Amino acid sequence: MYIILTSKLGEYDARPGQGIAPVETYEYFFYGKKKANFTIAEVDGDQGRVSIVETAEDGVTNSVPLKFFERFGSVEAARAELKQLVTFGSIDARLEKTPVN
């Protein structure tokens, strides 16, 4: 199974925990300005967690169980969801694939 992790620039970072492996990463641009990073990650089992880390100086870290993430049966299904998320009428939004860290 696969999930999509979102890190919003200047606000928070989503960091996969044990049993969650990044597969593809994309930068999201809205009217030419980078706004977020999306990562499609493969999930091994149901017990993993994702850390959501606020980027502020005294940022809080939240550990979120996988049950709160939408699951996709394939990488292709997750890609289709990302495409749908960033496509709305004639707005200037795009995804650029980047190397997985």
Query: Of all residues in the chain, what percent are helix, strand and coil, respectively (each to 5)?
Result: 15, 50, 35
Provide the pLDDT for residue 29: 95
Distance between CA atoms of residues 101 and 92, nearest Å: 27
Provide the pLDDT for residue 74: 97
In tens, the pLDDT along 60-70 reads 999 999 999 99
State which residues form the domain around 52. 2-98
Question: How many domains, in total, are found in the chain?
Answer: 1
Which residue is listed with tokens 């992790």? Answer: 5
Which residue is listed with tokens 């996988």? Answer: 66
User: Alpha-carbon torsion 70, 13, 10, 100, what sign?
Assistant: negative
CB-based contact 38:5 (threshold 8 Å): yes
Q: What is the mean pLDDT of residues 11-30?
A: 95
* Report field, pTM of the whole predicted structure over 0.85: yes
Share of the chain above pLDDT 70, in %: 99
For the chain, the maximum distance between any two Cα atoms, rounded to a whole number of angstroms, is 40
Check pLDDT > 80 for residue 101.
no
Give the residue, 2 or 99, on which the prediction is more confident: 2
Which residue is listed with tokens 């994702």? Answer: 50
